Amino acid sequence: MARQFFVGGNFKMNGTQKDLKAIVENLNNAQLDSNAEVVIAPPALYLDFVKQNLKNSKVEVAAQNVFNKPNGAFTGEISVSQLQDLGIKWTILGHSERRNELGESDEFVASKTKYALDNGISVIWCCGESKDTRQAGETIKFVENQLAALAKEISDWKNVVVAYEPIWAIGTGLVATKEQAQEVHAAIRSWLKKNVNEKVAEETRILYGGSVNAKNCKDLAKEEDIDGFLVGGASLKPEFVEIINSKQ
Ligand code: PEP
């Protein structure tokens, strides 16, 4: 089965209503590859605003995070039912900025992923190594450990998209070479085959994230195991459309 090309835009903690309106209008007016699945993740405060302004029904909206409890005394968190109340079907989980700046462990990320999936929210689950880990030659082992923590919690991978995002490439302008990215993507797929099953390995989309832009996306998109991108900085710019269309 051919895997549908997928492009996510992670706006992180960027944008006011005015900025987000301009980004959304750019997407509303663009010709987007009809074969690509597109999901944008604005700050939680603006999920509804972005959803209301999106006129392109091909573009879905995602949260950047969601909690693993139904409701209650969890100041600052948002719940799955609140996302559903707004018609939001996706969330990002385990972004390295949350893992590193906010101390989210592999187990916590896995538990939130399970909770979201069990309650009908699809997940863009992020993994990826630091510069030190890469220099120590431990990239694959590190990513496999992250995958193992997730696989302990979930059995149904149908609504999971994996985003491989080497931390040293995020927001740095240092994109992984297509060979570096392909090597890790192939390793993730082979880990899924060995430790989950062949169908999950074959069907799961594996995105690359880390300084993707209009210039480097076409080459990366040609790699066998790169099924799309998770884009940070460039998703705030008009060039996001070229990235969405990079497989055309
Ligand atoms: C990201 O944060 O998911 C990301 C890939 O950022 P950037 O594209 O800016 O490197």
* 171 Cβ below 6 A of ligand 1: yes
| CA neighbor of 143 nearest in space, from 152, 133, 153, 158 | 133
Q: What is the pLDDT of residue 219?
A: 97
For tokens 């996302």, the residue is: 83
Per-residue tokens: 110: 């896995």
210 alpha carbon – ligand 1 mean position (Å)? 5
- Alpha-carbon gap, residue 203 to 222, rounded angstroms: 17
Per-residue tokens: 191: 């880990």
Concatenate the DSSP letters of all residues of 55-114 into one string. --TTEEEEES---SSSSSS-TT---HHHHHHTT--EEEE--HHHHHHS---HHHHHHHHH
| CA neighbor of 26 nearest in space, from 4, 5, 47, 9 | 9
Q: Where in the chain are the domains?
A: 6-244
* 210 Cβ below 6 A of ligand 1: yes
Q: Is 130 helix (H, G, I), strand (E, B) or coil?
A: coil
Q: Are 161 and 6 in contact (CB under 8 A)?
A: yes
* 128 Cβ below 6 A of ligand 1: no
- Alpha-carbon gap, residue 237 to 188, rounded angstroms: 30
Concatenate the DSSP letters of all residues of 174-221 into one string. -PPPHHHHHHHHHHHHHHHHHHT-HHHHHH--EEEESS--TTTHHHHH
What is the number of the ligand 1 atom nearest to the C-alpha of 12? 2
Helix (H) or strand (E) holding 41: strand 37-41
Q: What is the pLDDT of residue 61?
A: 98
Low-confidence ranges of the chain (pLDDT < 50): none
Known catalytic residues are: 95, 165
82 alpha carbon – ligand 1 mean position (Å)? 26
- Alpha-carbon gap, residue 163 to 39, rounded angstroms: 13
* 233 Cβ below 6 A of ligand 1: yes
73 alpha carbon – ligand 1 mean position (Å)? 31
Q: What is the pLDDT of residue 112?
A: 98
Multiple choice CATH, 6-244, 1.10.1060.10, 2.40.10.340, 3.40.720.10, 3.20.20.70: 3.20.20.70
